[in-house]
């Protein structure tokens, strides 16, 4: 069976908005990210297991607000107290996760097909997010993540890099099209290249 991405029918490539007479390299870039493993890991309240001792893809969980631990393939985003979102290009990592996090102590849920993922890159990426989100993006730094809303749509924001700004947005698949239209509409002012 072939999986169909959340934005398969609406994400179009090309130049859009106020892009004329601008260097194409300096334009905001908007893309859909596909084929990632996305797993929510939640430790039960009555669990006494030390999550700090568990290693997934050479990464340890961190129970610190807005924190992200990462390597080249995997990112683990703090999602709430003893609650993490693991995102990886390694689809086969799910087996290791299931073995490391025993079902008596953790709830492990594969969310890979339930999310729409949009990536923004460029100097105006935070300006686009400021148009629809109440969070102060001036304080968001590389390897930070937050949960918030964008024009009423719940989302997770993951700051991948800050030179230039590169931000990944996760929303429920059912809200993917609405979020995509909101983000691209907010990007028109700056001009953007859709990849």
- The overall average pLDDT reported for the chain is 95
| Six-digit token string for 18 | 């106020």
The helix or strand, by DSSP H or E, that contains position 134, with its residue range, turns out to be none
Q: Give the residue from 8, 23, 5, 7 showing the smallest Cα distance to 193.
A: 23
The helix or strand, by DSSP H or E, that contains position 13, with its residue range, turns out to be none
Region of residue 115 (left: phi > 0; alpha: psi -120 to 50; beta: else): beta
150-159 average pLDDT score: 97
Confidence of residue 2 (pLDDT cuts 50, 70, 90): low
3-class SS at 128? helix
Q: Which residues pair with 14 in a beta bridge?
A: 194
Q: What is the pLDDT of residue 135?
A: 96
Strands, DSSP E only, in 23-114?
Answer: 28-32, 37-43, 55-56, 59-60, 68-70, 74-80, 83-88, 106-110
Q: What is the pLDDT of residue 3?
A: 78
Give the model confidence (pLDDT) of 46-100 as tens digits: 999 999 889 999 999 999 999 999 999 999 999 999 999 999 999 999 999 999 9
């Amino acid at each position: 069976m072939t999986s169909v991405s959340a934005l398969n029918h609406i994400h179009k490539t090309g130049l859009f908005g106020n892009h004329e007479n601008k260097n194409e390299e300096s334009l905001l870039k908007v893309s859909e990210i596909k084929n990632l493993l996305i797993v929510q890991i939640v430790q039960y309240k009555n669990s006494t297991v030390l999550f700090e001792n568990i290693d997934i893809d050479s990464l340890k969980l961190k129970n610190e607000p807005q924190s992200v631990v990462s390597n080249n393939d995997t990112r683990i985003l703090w999602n709430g107290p003893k609650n993490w979102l693991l995102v990886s290009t390694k689809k086969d990592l799910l087996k290791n996760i299931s073995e490391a996090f025993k079902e008596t102590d953790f709830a492990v849920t594969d969310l890979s097909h339930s999310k729409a993922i949009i990536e923004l890159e460029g100097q105006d990426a935070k300006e686009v997010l400021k148009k629809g989100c109440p969070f102060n993006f001036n304080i968001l730094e590389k390897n930070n993540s937050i949960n918030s809303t964008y024009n009423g749509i719940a989302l997770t924001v993951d700051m991948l890099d800050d030179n230039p700004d590169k931000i990944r947005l996760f929303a429920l698949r059912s809200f993917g099209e609405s979020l995509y239209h909101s983000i691209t509409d907010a990007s028109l002012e700056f001009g953007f290249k859709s990849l």
